[in-house]
């Protein structure tokens, strides 16, 4: 499955299809926030800014709010915690 890129403002147009339900996958990043991937069948898209850099959300709430108006998106989302690590901040 190839991974393409899409800007956030293109998601609604991409998902406005009746032949497939879009799925969302959220990746947490301790430094930047949460990134988003949208999958439609065998097509997979990483959400980026207009300059091509990753689009990060500060919280899961912001991701959920952003996805509210996206048509034909699954009400279920996946949170991929495989890259999550405990903070290495030293306690005083």
Q: What is the pTM of this model?
A: 0.81
Q: 19 in a domain, yes or no?
A: yes
- Residue (of 80, 86, 51) closest to 63 by Cα position: 80
Q: 85 in a domain, yes or no?
A: no
How many domains are contained in the chain?
Answer: 1
Q: The domain containing residue 32 runs over which residues?
A: 3-79
| Token pair of 76 as six digits | 């279920």
Helix (H, G, I), strand (E, B) or coil at 3: strand
Q: 61 in a domain, yes or no?
A: yes
Q: 17 in a domain, yes or no?
A: yes
* pLDDT for the residue numbered 91: 46
Contact 45, 35 (CB under 8 A): no
Q: 90 in a domain, yes or no?
A: no
| Token pair of 8 as six digits | 């956030």
- Percentage of residues in the chain with pLDDT exceeding 70? 89
**48-84 pLDDT tens trace:** 999 999 999 999 999 999 999 899 999 999 999 887 7
Question: CATH number, domain at 57?
Answer: 3.30.720
Residue 87 has pLDDT above 60, yes or no: no
Cα gap 29→47, rounded to integer Å:
14
Q: 50 in a domain, yes or no?
A: yes
């Amino acid at each position: 499955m190839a991974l393409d890129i899409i800007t956030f403002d293109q998601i609604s147009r991409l998902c406005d299809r009746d032949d497939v339900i879009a799925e969302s996958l959220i990746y947490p990043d301790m430094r930047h926030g949460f990134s988003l991937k949208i999958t439609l069948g065998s097509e997979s898209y990483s959400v980026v800014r207009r300059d091509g850099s990753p689009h990060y959300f500060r919280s899961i709430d912001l991701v959920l709010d952003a996805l509210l108006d996206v048509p034909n998106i699954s009400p279920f989302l996946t949170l991929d915690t495989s890259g999550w690590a405990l903070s290495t901040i030293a306690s005083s």
